């Protein structure tokens, strides 16, 4: 069973839901994330764990891990989740936490990958699904798909093409990994 961590729009969460994957819990660091509303619409347990409500990041991450484990979560998918995870969380789901990122890692890690790829003038960028460690988009790569940067691309047009790739790639990888074990 799968738990998904989100911080924003939730288009990747929606792609996972539309694929019919066994998602049982969705957690966020931001109460206003549209992704939480998508989970509620789909009838899935959704909860917010804002940093400010806890003594430390460790305490927040431990509470979030407890909440997911209570719901039977075995695999955790980061779908636009924009905080790092502490070891106290990762050790609860060792080797079973994955993330999607809008660049060909190790190029352009962090929260502004699409803006940085455009500014760098690279001819191609893409999408990566990788295992999560304590660093910023730094865990081992599982799969990558390339996206050509077209002349005249803006952040919006490039993001749309990268996310179209993500919406196909992420459910496929999650299905292969989570349902194979
Ligand atoms: C996605 O494009 C994802 O790759 C990116 O945030 C977006 C979330 O969109 N993640 C990162 O940049 C992680 N470093 P969504 O909320 O619509 O799925």
What is the CATH number for 88? 3.40.50.170
Q: Which domain holds residue 131?
A: 2-180
Model pLDDT, residue 118: 97
Q: Which residues of the chain have pLDDT under 70?
A: 181
Model pLDDT, residue 180: 77
Model pLDDT, residue 178: 85
Could you tell me if 3 and 71 are in contact, meaning their C-beta atoms sit under 8 angstroms apart?
yes
Q: How is residue 7 written in tokens?
A: 């911080």
User: Can you say whether the dihedral through the CA atoms of 99, 104, 107, 112 is positive or negative?
Assistant: negative
Among residues 141, 143, 142, 136, which one has the least CA distance to residue 116? 136
Model pLDDT, residue 181: 61
Model pLDDT, residue 165: 98
Specify whether 101 is catalytic.
yes
Does 139 sit in the ligand 1 pocket, CB within 6 Å?
A: no
> In total, how many domains does the chain have?
1
Q: Which atom of ligand 1 is nearest to the CA of 112?
A: 12
Model pLDDT, residue 179: 77
CA distances from 179 to 28, 131, 168, 175, 176 (A): 24, 16, 17, 5, 6
Q: What is the value of pTM for the model shown?
A: 0.96
């Amino acid at each position: 069973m799968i738990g998904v961590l989100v911080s924003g729009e939730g288009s990747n969460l929606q792609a996972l839901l539309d694929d019919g994957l066994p998602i049982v819990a969705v957690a966020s660091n931001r109460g206003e994330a549209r992704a939480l509303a998508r989970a509620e619409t789909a009838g899935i347990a959704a909860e917010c764990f804002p940093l400010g409500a806890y003594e430390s990041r460790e305490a927040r991450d431990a509470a979030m891990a407890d909440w997911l484990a209570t719901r039977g979560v075995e695999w955790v998918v980061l779908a636009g989740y924009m905080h790092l995870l502490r070891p106290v969380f990762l050790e609860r789901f060792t080797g079973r936490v994955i993330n999607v990122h809008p660049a060909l890692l190790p190029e352009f890690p962090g929260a502004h990958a699409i803006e940085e790829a455009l500014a760098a003038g690279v001819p191609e960028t893409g999408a990566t699904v990788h295992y999560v460690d304590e660093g910023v988009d730094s865990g081992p790569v599982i799969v990558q798909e390339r996206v050509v940067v077209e002349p005249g691309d803006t952040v919006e047009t490039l993001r749309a093409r990268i996310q179209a790739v993500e919406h196909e790639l992420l459910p496929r990888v999650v299905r292969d990994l989570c349902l194979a074990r």
